[in-house]
Amino acid sequence: MPARLAVLISGNGSNLQAILDAIRMRVLDAEVVVVVSNRKAAYGLERAAKAGVPTRYHPLKPYRDAERSREEYDADLAQIVKEFSPDYVILVGWMHIFTNQFLRHFPYRVINLHPALPGKFPGAHAIEDAFAAFTRGEIKGTGVMVHLVPDEQVDRGPVLLTGDVPIYPTDTLETLRNRIQQTEHKVLVQAIARLIEGDE
């Protein structure tokens, strides 16, 4: 049985595309059962629709406006995702931090992709932070990681796979970003493939 993947995005969705392509090429024995975005304009929603994958839009703003808590937002998100009975929930650029109101529904089934190596540059600006550290002579390279999300910590958890990314003196932020994203697409697909194979 193909593994059922719920993919949570906030933006471009290039990593979602890498998953969809790997499924189409039969590199991954999986099915994306739903794509959820917290941003309506996320291009990833179009990628999902093109692939015939159901999409859901779940914005935080109405909760903030109604002074409803992040826990309530997360509990509702969990219900949306649970409807599709996923084996794994894959975070690719989902720019919200989770509370246990979401995580408790999917223990050891939430996987995050982050554009830095374990313990380095957590948060939403990892690529910018690595580039600045390189410019200051503090690092020679960076990388990407795929890890489990067991709790509420940001960009931390048991590491499933990493990939190294060199930085060159001729790099701009954009060339570095491109190299990191190319690596992410491969490492993410490989990590999911390993998880799925481990479950068989």
Q: Which is nearer to ligand GAR, 58 or 114 (CB)?
A: 114
Beta pairing class for 3-9 and 88-92: parallel
Tell me if 93 contacts ligand GAR by CB under 6 A.
Answer: yes
- Contact yes or no for 55/49 (Cβ under 8 A): yes
- For the beta sheet containing 3-9, the strands, ordered from the edge strand earlier in sequence to the opposite edge, are 55-57, 30-37, 3-9, 88-92, 110-114, 141-148, 159-166
Query: Active-site residue 185, yes or no?
Result: no
Question: How far apart, in whole angstroms, are the C-alpha atoms of residue 122 and residue 19?
Answer: 23
In whole angstroms, give the CA distance from residue 165 to residue 29.
Answer: 27
Told to check if 15 binds ligand GAR by CB under 6 A, we report yes
Count interface residues toward ligand GAR (CB under 6 A): 17
Exactly one of 58, 114, 147, 185 is catalytic; name it: 114
Asked if 32 interacts with ligand GAR (CB under 6 A), we say no
Q: Which residue number, 68 or 125, has a Cβ lying nearer to ligand GAR?
A: 125
Catalytic residue annotation: 114
Binding site for ligand GAR (CB under 6 A): 9, 11-15, 44, 92-93, 113-115, 124, 126, 155, 181, 184
